Amino acid sequence: MSDYPHTYYSRTACDATAYPALTADCDVDVCVVGAGLAGLTAARELAMRGQSVAVLDANRVGWGASGRNGGQVSSGFAADDDAVLKQVGQAHFDALYRLSIEGMEMVRDACRRLGAGAGGLTPGILKVLRYDDPAGLAAHRDRMAAYGRRFTLLNRDDVRAQVNSPAYGPGLFDADAFHIHPLNYTRALAADAAARGVAVYEKSRVTRIAPVQGRHRLTANRTTIRARHVVMATGGYTDALVPALRRAMLPIATYMLATGPLGARIGDAIDTTAAIIDDRRAGNYYRVLDGDRIVWGSGISVRRSPPPQLADRLKHELQGVFPQLGDVSVDMAWSGLMSYARHRMPQVGQLAPGLWYCTAFGGQGLNTTAIAGRVVAEAITGETDRIAAFAPFGLTWAGGVLGRAAAQATYWGYQVGDRWRERMRPV
């Protein structure tokens, strides 16, 4: 696994299958660019519908965000519910939210079908507030009940019995959500797609796409693939291959750390197998793995490369939340890039005849890549037009360098807002 970034997941990956690089010309119905969760789900769904499919990745299967994330799978989108509701109205919002739940259920179903090595699904996500607002949580619980989602309201003491931090107030337990080993899951999807006839190619960067006589000609490793349809699923690693996609996305980094084994000390801090997420914008998301190790996620930034002293910074943050742990050893820290649109909703649609895009899943990518991959497959095969649900969220210009500066400023603004709210309503 040496071609993967050094993460907890690459170190604990349960198989090391390598796929070949593209070296011979070929002809397929659909060529998918990008072997992350979006591309692989689309490929698998297309193969299930009888299409001949090739998937190409510039690196390895799951090398991008899909293989190095927090593994938390729930419903919803990266955009604020209220903003989406305001834009599209209640009926459309309901349809979108139900798609997001279907995405979550797709991941659950695939984990079950693909066997023990496919992600090691562990149930439950606990969302905790860093300020006191049980009424707001109850309102959210009631709103989600309309979609059949079961959230349990926990008071501060209930929360602290499971996650013993002076920073935390009340919370919501989401019994239907779950967490997985994202690299194992992504690789299991690739293996299943390959078993269904999908040609998976690694180390095959697509450098050119050109329309030729009603088809598309793609070039990778000086080799040609001809395809009736192309699905672009290049996430936060989108390059200038299709300029309209590059212009419409902001690559945003987020960071993770895996502690060394904490032994019995872990029980002083976390006593749940559920994953945990706090309510701050770009706050902390984490879980206990291997019984006594914390895999901790945090923050966002427009920097493409990890900041200096990343491990120390994340460790300091973790110790701030759980001071009783004292010093903790760090095994590794890493970063990954997510793709955000300005509207923060996924971008899923058709740019030109036969040229599809499936990207911009932001920090809520595990359920949304699944449903996006499915609706793209349905659209290509003419099975449904469910892809139209994403039409209001197009390829709007992300603002280039100014857009990145604005995103960073917005994040800093959120941080100030978070601190203010916590000061006004202490836990």
Ligand X SMILES: Cc1cc2nc3c(=O)[nH]c(=O)nc-3n(C[C@H](O)[C@H](O)[C@H](O)COP(=O)(O)OP(=O)(O)OC[C@H]3O[C@@H](n4cnc5c(N)ncnc54)[C@H](O)[C@@H]3O)c2cc1C
338: which strand partners?
A: 252
Answer yes or no whether residue 57 interacts with ligand X by CB under 6 A: yes
Nearest to 290 by CA among 91, 11, 101: 11
Answer yes or no whether residue 56 interacts with ligand X by CB under 6 A: yes
Answer yes or no whether residue 373 interacts with ligand X by CB under 6 A: no
Kindly tell me which residue out of 31, 43, 46, 66 binds ligand X, with binding defined by CB under 6 A.
Answer: 66
Distance CA(230)–CA(29), nearest Å, equals 9
How many alpha carbons lie under 13 Å from residue 27 in its C-beta half-sphere?
2
Dihedrals phi, psi of 30, to nearest 5 degrees? -135, 130
Kindly tell me which residue out of 241, 282, 351, 406 binds ligand X, with binding defined by CB under 6 A.
Answer: 241
Cβ neighbors of 392 (< 8 A, separation 6 or more) are 87, 88, 92
In the region spanning residues 247 to 266, those forming contacts with ligand X, defined by CB under 6 A, are 254, 256
Piece of the chain touching ligand X by CB under 6 A; list 150-158, 167-175, 236-244, 386-394: 236-244
Kindly tell me which residue out of 10, 51, 72, 165 binds ligand X, with binding defined by CB under 6 A.
Answer: 72
Answer yes or no whether residue 48 interacts with ligand X by CB under 6 A: no
Per-residue binding letters, 187-216, with ligand X (x by CB under 6 A)? ------------------xx----------
Answer yes or no whether residue 58 interacts with ligand X by CB under 6 A: yes
State CA 297 to chain mean position distance: 13
Answer yes or no whether residue 365 interacts with ligand X by CB under 6 A: yes
Distance CA(300)–CA(317), nearest Å, equals 14
> Where does 78-155 have alpha helices with state H?
81-88, 90-114, 134-145
Are the C-beta atoms of residues 154 and 5 closer than 8 Å to each other? no
Q: How far is the CB of 83 from ligand X (least distance, A)?
A: 18
Are the C-beta atoms of residues 264 and 307 closer than 8 Å to each other? no
Looking at residue 235, the DSSP 8-state letter turns out to be G
Residue nearest to ligand X (CB): 365
Cβ neighbors of 219 (< 8 A, separation 6 or more) are 206, 207, 208, 209
Answer yes or no whether residue 366 interacts with ligand X by CB under 6 A: yes
Dihedrals phi, psi of 47, to nearest 5 degrees? -65, -40
Q: What share of the chain is helix, strand, coil (3-state, %, to 5)?
A: 40, 25, 35
Answer yes or no whether residue 100 interacts with ligand X by CB under 6 A: no
How many angstroms separate the first and last alpha carbons of the chain?
Answer: 44
Q: How far is the CB of 314 from ligand X (least distance, A)?
A: 11
Answer yes or no whether residue 103 interacts with ligand X by CB under 6 A: no
In the region spanning residues 304 to 343, those forming contacts with ligand X, defined by CB under 6 A, are 336, 338
Distance CA(239)–CA(254), nearest Å, equals 19
Answer yes or no whether residue 64 interacts with ligand X by CB under 6 A: yes
Cβ neighbors of 286 (< 8 A, separation 6 or more) are 70, 275, 276, 277, 294, 295, 296, 297, 318
Kindly tell me which residue out of 369, 374, 377, 380 binds ligand X, with binding defined by CB under 6 A.
Answer: 369
Answer yes or no whether residue 68 interacts with ligand X by CB under 6 A: yes
Nearer to ligand X by C-beta: 106 or 427?
Answer: 106
Answer yes or no whether residue 3 interacts with ligand X by CB under 6 A: no
Q: How far is the CB of 55 from ligand X (least distance, A)?
A: 9
Piece of the chain touching ligand X by CB under 6 A; list 86-94, 262-270, 365-373, 408-416: 365-373
Answer yes or no whether residue 70 interacts with ligand X by CB under 6 A: yes
Distance CA(131)–CA(151), nearest Å, equals 19
DSSP-derived pairing of the beta strands 275-278 and 215-220: unpaired
Q: How far is the CB of 420 from ligand X (least distance, A)?
A: 26
Kindly tell me which residue out of 100, 234, 284, 301 binds ligand X, with binding defined by CB under 6 A.
Answer: 234
Applying CB under 6 A, the site for ligand X has a residue count of 43
Q: How far is the CB of 336 from ligand X (least distance, A)?
A: 3
Kindly tell me which residue out of 46, 233, 258, 288 binds ligand X, with binding defined by CB under 6 A.
Answer: 233
Answer yes or no whether residue 111 interacts with ligand X by CB under 6 A: no
Place of tokens 């690789």: 187
Answer yes or no whether residue 346 interacts with ligand X by CB under 6 A: no
Nearer to ligand X by C-beta: 209 or 427?
Answer: 209
Answer yes or no whether residue 75 interacts with ligand X by CB under 6 A: no
Answer yes or no whether residue 38 interacts with ligand X by CB under 6 A: yes
Nearer to ligand X by C-beta: 138 or 311?
Answer: 311
Q: What b/e readout covers 369-385, taking b as 16+ CB neighbours within 10 angstroms?
A: bbbbbbbbbbbbbeeee
Summarize as ranges the residues that interact with ligand X (CB under 6 A). 33-39, 56-59, 63-66, 68-72, 205-206, 233-237, 239, 241, 254, 256, 285, 297, 336, 338, 359, 361-366, 369
